[in-house]
């Protein structure tokens, strides 16, 4: 398994990225290869300062950097020797099994659409996120920001994509799927959600448990897969962050609430494209980078993209 890491992307690149890469090694099987993609001088300099043997990694040198403020589409097409463009190129020619970056999110999405492409049959790719529930289960929620306006057929397909994700990445045999709504009754919600309910309730490919409300999120009653549009999903993800932040601010300690830190979340996989790609938070430091790499390895190990291709 070869996992590519964009060393140049993120507010604390390249140092924090390389530190996280080093920490991730103890969580990866010995025969996996972690490929550091970025300026080789910066990489070797940092590894030397850390007194880390460079032979633990592969290094692919790139001469350009897509900055956090760059225009995504322009930067991606013009900076062909940037770490993001090179990473996607390696995905496309199958020299990587997975790729991750805490860099320019827009450029990562451009690469997803234009280099590796959407899987035929997938209506809209989604950003998924794996959240810890209070009863120690993990639950995947999608979309969390790619498609703020979702049509009913897209929501239905998110249920299917989420089921595949839960089955192969989280190893849930028969994952339950819930539709986020403002009430349990099937007559509740937006017109899109009401129709999605109709589509989902009889669908043979889904273990559909019906509508779930905001007060089920993170709790025992949270299904294994939560389907919602990218607007609500994004608000949920960021509100979780907000609560975690306030929790820390008040000087509180609790193993569950501590686990809600974005640093533990491991980034957001892009689901529905022809490659296994994970996007990290721009403010990722050492620990967040480590978890992003571990998540990418999980997604690549499950070969999520291939599983979706077979199912759709």
235 lines the binding site for its own copies (CB under 8 A): yes
By three-state DSSP, how is residue 145 classified?
Answer: coil
Is the CB of 114 or the CB of 256 nearer to its own copies? 256
Paired with 2 in beta bridges are: 33
Residue choice 239, 248, 283, 310 for contact with its own copies (CB under 8 A): 239
For residue 263, say if its preceding peptide bond is cis, omega within 30 degrees of 0.
no
Those residues with Cβ within 8 angstroms of residue 298's Cβ, 6 or more apart along the chain or in another chain: 169
Quick one: which segment of 62-70, 154-162, 247-255, 300-308 binds its own copies (CB under 8 A)?
Answer: 247-255
Is the CB of 51 or the CB of 250 nearer to its own copies? 250
Per the document, the length of the chain is 312
257 lines the binding site for its own copies (CB under 8 A): yes
Sheet order of strands, 126-132 included: 58-61, 33-38, 2-6, 98-101, 277-279, 268-271, 126-132, 138-142, 225-227, 176-180, 207-212
Is the CB of 81 or the CB of 185 nearer to its own copies? 185
The footprint of its own copies on residues 145-174 (CB under 8 A) is 145, 148-149
* CA separation for the pair 186, 200 (Å, rounded): 11
| Residue carrying structure tokens 């592969």 | 58
230 lines the binding site for its own copies (CB under 8 A): yes
127 lines the binding site for its own copies (CB under 8 A): no
Is the CB of 48 or the CB of 185 nearer to its own copies? 185
Is the CB of 94 or the CB of 191 nearer to its own copies? 191
Those residues with Cβ within 8 angstroms of residue 287's Cβ, 6 or more apart along the chain or in another chain: 20, 23, 263, 264
Q: How far is the CB of 63 from its own copies (least distance, A)?
A: 30
Residue choice 27, 56, 243, 283 for contact with its own copies (CB under 8 A): 243
Binding site for its own copies (CB under 8 A): 134, 145, 148-149, 180, 182, 188-191, 193, 213-219, 230-232, 234-239, 241-243, 245-247, 249-250, 252, 254, 256-257
């Amino acid at each position: 398994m070869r996992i590519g890491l964009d060393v140049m992307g993120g507010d604390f690149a390249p140092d924090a990225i390389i530190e996280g890469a080093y920490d991730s090694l103890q969580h990866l099987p010995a025969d996996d290869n972690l490929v550091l993609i970025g300026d080789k001088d910066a990489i070797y300099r940092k590894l030397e300062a850390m007194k880390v043997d460079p032979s633990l990694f592969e290094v692919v040198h790139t001469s350009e950097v897509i900055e956090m403020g760059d225009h995504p589409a322009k930067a991606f097409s013009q900076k062909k020797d940037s770490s993001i463009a090179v990473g996607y190129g390696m995905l496309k020619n199958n020299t990587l099994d997975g790729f991750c970056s805490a860099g320019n999110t827009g450029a990562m999405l451009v690469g997803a659409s234009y280099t590796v492409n959407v899987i035929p049959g997938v209506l809209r790719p989604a950003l998924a996120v794996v959240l810890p529930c209070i009863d120690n289960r993990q639950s995947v929620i999608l979309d969390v920001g790619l498609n703020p306006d979702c049509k009913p057929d897209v929501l239905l397909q998110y249920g299917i994509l989420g089921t595949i994700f839960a089955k192969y990445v989280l190893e849930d045999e028969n994952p339950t799927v819930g539709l986020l709504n403002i009430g349990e009754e099937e007559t509740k919600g937006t017109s899109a959600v009401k129709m999605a309910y109709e589509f989902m309730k009889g669908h043979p490919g889904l273990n559909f448990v019906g509508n779930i409300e905001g007060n089920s999120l993170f709790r025992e009653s949270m299904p294994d897969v939560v389907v919602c549009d990218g607007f609500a999903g994004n608000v949920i993800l960021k509100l979780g962050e907000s609560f975690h932040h306030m929790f820390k601010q008040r000087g509180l300690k609790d193993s569950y609430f501590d686990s809600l830190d974005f640093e533990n979340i491991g980034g957001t996989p892009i689901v529905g494209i022809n490659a296994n790609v994970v996007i990290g938070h721009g403010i990722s430091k050492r620990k967040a980078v480590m978890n992003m790499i571990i998540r990418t390895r999980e997604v690549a190990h499950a070969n999520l993209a291939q599983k979706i291709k077979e199912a759709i």
